Amino acid sequence: MEPYRKNFQPIIPEAIQDIGRVVFEKKHECTIDSEIGALFPHLVPCSVLKGASATREHVEKKPLRVGVVFSGGPAPGGHSVIAGLFDCIKKWHADSSLIGFLNGPKGLLRNICKELSQIDVDSVRNTGGFSLLGSGRTKIEAQEDIQKVIDTVKAQNLDALAVIGGDDSNTDAAFFAEAFLQQGIRTCVIGLPKTIDGDLQSDDIPISFGFDTACKVYSEIIGNIGRDVSSAKKYYSFIRLMGRVASHITLECALQTHPNLALISEEAAQQELTLKALVVKIADLVEERAKSRIHYGLILVPEGLVEHLVDMKHLIAELNEFFAPTHPLASLLVACSKPGERLDFVLDHISERSSACLALFPRHIAEQLLQERDPHGNVQVSRIETERLLAGLVEAEIHLRSQKAGKEIPFVAQTGFCGYEGRSAFPSIFDCTYCYALGRLAGIFAIQKMTGFMAGFARLHESFASWEPLAVPLVSLLHFERRKGAKKAVIQRVLVDLQGKPFSLFKNQCASWRLTDSYQQPGPMQFWGPEELTLPPCLTIRLGQG
């Protein structure tokens, strides 16, 4: 398979086929919060720009030196971004150079890099993962760290720096662009939208790359499990899916596979569900199906569900503040080293409401909530086995109902997690094409010395050739959040729109899936064959755009 994938030639949108003829004009002005604007005086006011192929004045073609870095977890299509960027600057001038920083932002801080050759790039075309350069989650936010980045781009004499990452990485890119302009550094900064979670989007960025592929990989697995539970007819399968903040992946996979129940975090938050109420909701489903002598089912659980339940949200917010270095008891908490000691300490010092919620948890799950925070000071929800938590609590609820009814309600649970196997898969035809186009557009930004923009395309539901290139100001995506107990400007992660077309379709259909075996088995991604199997993006993109 791999040799064939490397030879795949993605279609290039017509607007960026001739890189020397692309012109940008204002699409619409951006409204920027005054506090955000004060942090970025060199980048505001700003507008979203749209590109088209037209006649441009002749520009002398000089070699470019462009740096590129992967930041955060892998997403299918990253290598295609690099291929598109490499081909673009080499087409502009054969002596142009693409400098890859190794192991993510750490390589950028330490100036650890390599110049990428044609052989390097050709070896990874259309393949998954970030293995060409490696990646990392090092945060660059302190002024001394930004100065190290400035020293690196000056040492490498870069015309541009392309940051391939998610919301936090592109937040860093916005601060780089502002700092470079403040100090008169000629290096322009370009953001590229990467995350399989699909929560890096806006009115002008329809979707991040990798989402399409990951959803298709997970849907194949879920479809197989759905067929298995309807074959064995004896267990409920609880499948946890990636998506800490938003449930875009769970929603898309539900639309593709038709589970009996798909929990959407945003809907749970809107309904102000508690953990107990959610358990009752799932147990009701089990009892309803049991009345029809159906003792099996398929349930999808988003990774970040616990953060959206009203009692859990309060608990986690209190714990995050508790773990912040500024909390008066933080040092005593860190000193707790014996098994269970940290949990007992926290139970004694948090509010009665939060203590009651935490006490519902099995101790091993409760202790997962108390693990070290991520670099932003938040609970690492990927380490919380939400599917096991729910399966265990539902089992206990069904046992109580069986005792009350005087007859057994059969319930056997199995659990699974669709996670890392979706991050480095062979990218779909859509993601190959999207990512190559994003890389080519980033190269055009470098040629035209455009800084502080994220590369994007409109009309992704249409034919590849008709996609419209966009330059979206990074600052237009920022808002304020609390991180480690402080207010910080970061790119906003977009939640599932409960009024949008994808969720509306889901709500119209999910009731019919509840008590029937409507499971769909999408099967593996197709790279060859009829266009209706190989080319279309996932339903979320088609419904959201079309």
Tokens of 102: 């190794």
Tokens of 330: 């933080």
Q: Given CA atoms 261, 263, 264, 269 in this order, what sign does their dihedral have?
A: positive
Residue 216 · residue 263 · CB < 8 Å: no
Query: Could you give the CA distance from residue 297 to residue 450 in angstroms, rounded to a whole number?
Result: 52
Tokens of 266: 């945003």
Residue 437 · residue 10 · CB < 8 Å: yes
Interior angle at CA 462, CA 456 and CA 463, nearest 5? 95
Tokens of 418: 């669709």
Q: What is the set of active-site residues?
A: 197
Euclidean distance between the first and final Cα of the chain, in Å?
A: 32
Measured CA to CA in angstroms, residue 380 lies from 98, 144, 212, 320 at distances of: 35, 27, 24, 10
Count of beta carbons in the 10 Å neighbourhood of residue 533 = 13
Q: Report the amino acid identity of residue 533.
A: L
Task: Please spell the DSSP secondary structure of 371-390, one letter per residue.
Answer: SPP-TTS---GGGS-HHHHH
Measured CA to CA in angstroms, residue 384 lies from 3, 195, 367 at distances of: 38, 20, 9
Task: Please spell the DSSP secondary structure of 332-372, one letter per residue.
Answer: HHHT--STTHHHHHHHHHS-HHHHHHHTTS-HHHHHHHTSP
Query: Could you give the CA distance from residue 308 to residue 313 in angstroms, rounded to a whole number?
Result: 6
